[in-house]
A = this chain, B = another copy of it.
């Protein structure tokens, strides 16, 4: 059920943030982000001292202390992270949506049939008033026109080309530097302690894999995401996989633990999210035996990034927040717990 209930999910996610975000700027020569080096003696220098940082340090100490009651064998040290809003910014709108809109504009010259035709023309125009009149099906149709119907290799090349030059419209920096510095340190810290870190995101798996290794140090085979269906096609030049304008699996809510089971086959011991879409992933993680750590980023920092939680169309944090309070999951305040937000 969970994996098929939202066929128009990409479009809903893409456009829920409001049409002001549709403008996409690009600057040639931007470089991708880099991971932070830990200060001597403190593996998490961008985390302020406090209960959240202490919970992480205590958990890692517990699961890595041989003979201790919380010890977990390295092969079972599975840590799962949501991506949008947990590892990088998701405001004012998901970066993948900005990529898709950019692709519609970039490819428009090759598609004279789009120009002057709704719904393509509205998206190409970038006019918020016109775009707000589009239905979800229209939007899905437009985005699919520019991001499917091609080989998986071609799609990856398109993402890479975009990622190399595009700048985030609000943060005014390359997308690869809209990652959160405290989380880059946390990924390093966990890996250094024998964890395998995984991305488990509602974002597209074919999209994230293009940059996840460079940006997060997470290789393609440890990225789980939403997928489009792909078809096998034998061409004169050999076999190719063609991305179809059809959802394969929507990796959100119950889809997250279901796909964790499918892809990893083990229950994580550590899960980090930021929205109600992560609730079931944290519940699934919490339900195992032994030491566990469940965390949520609370975006409460309007000055440095954004402040949003209950009722937000992007990254709404409501039922998961209540459950975190009730069950003692760790709620990380971006304002109080993070000394820096973005890589320097």
Contacts and interface: CB of A to CB of B under 8 A. Distances in A.
Given A241-B258, A280-B239, A264 B220 contact: yes
A311 interface: no
Contacts of A254: 232
Interface in A213-238: 219-221, 223, 227, 230-232, 234, 238
Contact of A280 (B206, B219, B232): B232
A2, A152, A262, A284 — most chain B CB neighbours (10 Å): A262
Interface in A299-321: none
Contact of A265 (B223, B238, B283, B287): B223
A174 B1 CA distance: 38
B232 A265 contact: no
Contacts of A241: 257-258, 261
A209 interface: yes
Q: Could you tell me the dominant secondary structure of chain A's interface residues? A: mixed
Contacts of A231: 1-2
Interface string A1-17: 11000000000000000
A221 B264 contact: yes
Given A2-B232, A238-B287, A221 B258 contact: no
23 contacts: A1-B231, A2-B231, A75-B219, A152-B261, A205-B265, A209-B265, A220-B264, A220-B266, A221-B264, A221-B265, A223-B265, A230-B262, A232-B258, A238-B286, A238-B287, A239-B257, A239-B283, A239-B284, A239-B287, A241-B257, A241-B258, A241-B261, A263-B263
Interface of A: 1-2, 75, 152, 196, 205-206, 209, 219-221, 223, 227, 230-232, 234, 238-239, 241, 248, 254, 257-258, 261-266, 280, 283-284, 286-287
